[in-house]
Amino acid sequence: MRETVAKVKTTPAQILELPEERRAEAIEKGELPIVLAHEVHKWYGNFHVLRGINMEVYKGQVIVIFGPSGSGKSTFIRTINRLEEHQKGHIIVDGIELSRDVRNIEKIRVETGMVFQQFNLFPHLTVMQNITLAPIHVRKWPKEKAEEVAMQLLKRVGIPEQADKYPGQLSGGQQQRVAIARALAMQPKIMLFDEPTSALDPEMIKEVLDVMIELAESGMTMLVVTHEMGFARAVANQMYFFDEGQIVESGTPEEIFTDPKEDRTKLFLSQILH
């Protein structure tokens, strides 16, 4: 009988005790997780949004997080690059513990790319400027290098001809692909996707999912909040079902789809898989 709720093997101390250069090596080899969440709690006022989340993600894994709205899944993924602050527990990303220390936060944000539900492209900048802004000003690349990398990424997401347009001139699917290219331009180690297809018209969902599947197959570490179960089945290594701020059940897509253990998981899956 498998356990439905993930038990995390790694403790925060195991990572933090190691000297920094050893951490990177162990994460690279897959001995230590690249993302570790240990007993993470968060409150909005009196409302307990996250109630003891444990999760470990190893390099190259694709994690799908799903669950009803208000279950805390978006909040959780946003704690990983500190867009939301957690109030208890530990989050260690790429060997760096997230705390109030602003330098740590900025370091982690450089290593994690994020794609939002509402795309959040910068409307006053062209597609090219959207993508090259952070590499030029954060990574300090020369403009030519940044533009070269941006062009490669635009080709990879299939819209090199849109480079000089403004976001407002693109369709939703194209905007989201630009947003993915923008996040990738920083060459992050981890990509976070917060419901990337929820704001898209049905005929545009596929073009974004195709890009994400290609990215997953290229070995990117990905945490994806989504209800696209086809995507999960195709590329996820682990799935986590969130409800009421807790992980109710986790497992491989095989286990979750063919043999869900918890009633709440069964009910939710029956509602979204028609």
Partner 1 sequence: MMNRDQKQYSRGEVLAPPTERYTILGWLHKNLFSTWYYTLLTLFTAYLLYIILKPTLAWVLHQAQWQVIVVNMRLFMVGQYPADQLFRIWAALHLLAFTAGLAWAIWLPKERRIGLFLLLIPLALAALPFIGPTARINWVLFALVALIGWALGIWQPKKMRRPLIFLLLAYFPILILLISGIEPLLKLVKTNYWGGLLLTMLLAVVGIVVSFPLGVLLALGRQSKLPIVHLFSVLYIELIRGVPLVTILFMAQIMLPLFLPPGLKIDNVLRAMAGIIIFAAAYMAENVRGGLQAIPKGQHEAAWALGLNGFQTMLFIILPQALRNVIPVIVGQFIALFKDTSLVAIVGLLDLLGIASTVLAQPEFIGRQREVYLFIALIYWVFSYAMSYASRRLELALGVGER
Interface contacts to partner 1, rule CB under 8 A: 81, 83, 106, 109-110, 112-114, 116, 118, 120-124, 133-134, 137-138, 168, 179, 182-183, 186
Is the Cβ of residue 114 or residue 204 nearer to partner 1 in the bound state?
A: 114
Is the Cβ of residue 114 or residue 208 nearer to partner 1 in the bound state?
A: 114
Is the Cβ of residue 190 or residue 248 nearer to partner 1 in the bound state?
A: 190
Q: How many CA atoms lie within 13 A of 248 on its CB side?
A: 22
* Residue 62: CB minimum distance to partner 1, A: 19
Q: How far is CA 21 from the centre of its chain?
A: 25
* Residue 262: CB minimum distance to partner 1, A: 32
CB atoms within 10 A of CB 168: 9
* Residue 182: CB minimum distance to partner 1, A: 7
* C-alpha to C-alpha distance for 42 and 58, rounded to whole angstroms: 24
* Residue 208: CB minimum distance to partner 1, A: 17
* C-alpha to C-alpha distance for 61 and 160, rounded to whole angstroms: 28
Q: Which residues are within 8 A (CB) of 6 and not within 5 positions of it... i.e. 6 or more apart?
A: 54, 55, 56, 238, 240, 247, 250
Structure tokens at 127: 């597609």
* C-alpha to C-alpha distance for 17 and 194, rounded to whole angstroms: 32
Is the Cβ of residue 55 or residue 190 nearer to partner 1 in the bound state?
A: 190
